[in-house]
Amino acid sequence: MGETEIPSRLWKFADELGNVEAYNYTPQYQISEVIHPDGNKHVATYDANGDTTSYSFVSKPGSGTANATTTYAYATGCCGKPSSVTDANNNTTDFTYDPVHGGVLTATGPTPSSGAVRPVKRYAYTQRYAWVKNSAGAYVQANRPLWLVLSEKVCRTSATVGDACAAGSSDEVVVSYDYGPNAGPNNLWLRGKVVTADGASLRTCFSYDQIGNKISETSARAGLTSCP
């Protein structure tokens, strides 16, 4: 007879003070419920593809705290990437995706106030190659490129028309991302970002330790012309 493998899952956790947190799972071994020591819990539901359809905070009985649920919708035949997300206040954000690499192309947020237009964040991407050491110690281009976010744009008050703002470029805020030079050494960690609005550009730079932890960040200011 064949053996049935039963995946190992954490069912209960108790700290040194005796506070217990319990976990329940779906038949597909996805977390369906987390019961916290205070009696509150978080509950998740999934569709047949295993995608999250709702995530709820359920308050303990008698607490007086309202429950809160976020729901996720998916396009037919699309797995893993929600077409819309609706929060507990019934605010909905809609998403579109690039058919080639799957990155978010647009994120249309809820109306910020009565009569206002829905803000649309537009994302652009680029392919970049990392530069790594070969066996001889020389830096060479990696075999395959990566898709990276190149820019994020949004109109502050006017409607989005194609890839522009109805009120013109003065209404647009652009965030551009810097991944360093197209030659080695370069592991494509984010070196900096530039926020451009009202004709001014403010640059923020980042640095990392050897395993990729961010260890410094400059304050955004116009005096930086590049990031090291």
Contact 150, 175 (CB under 8 A): no
- Does residue 20 carry a pLDDT above 60? yes
In the chain, the amino acid numbered 155 is: C
Nearest alpha carbon to residue 153 among 179, 170, 175: 175
Tell me if the pTM is above 0.85: yes
- At residue 151 the predicted structure's pLDDT band, cuts being 50, 70 and 90, is very high
The mean pLDDT value for 178-194 works out to 94
Pair of tokens at residue 15: 């700290």
Strand runs (DSSP E) across 119-168, as ranges? 120-128, 131-133, 139-141, 146-155, 160-161, 164-165
Q: pLDDT grade, residue 228 (50/70/90)?
A: confident
Bridge partners (DSSP) listed for residue 203: 194, 221
- The pLDDT assigned to 145 comes to 98
Average pLDDT over the chain reads 94
- 93-117 tens-digit pLDDT: 999 999 999 999 999 999 999 889 9
Residue 169 in 3-state DSSP? helix
Q: Is pLDDT of 4 > 60?
A: no
pLDDT tens-digit profile of 204-218? Answer: 999 999 999 999 999
Q: Under DSSP, is residue 170 helix (H, G, I), strand (E, B) or coil? A: helix
Name residue, tokens 């028309």.
161
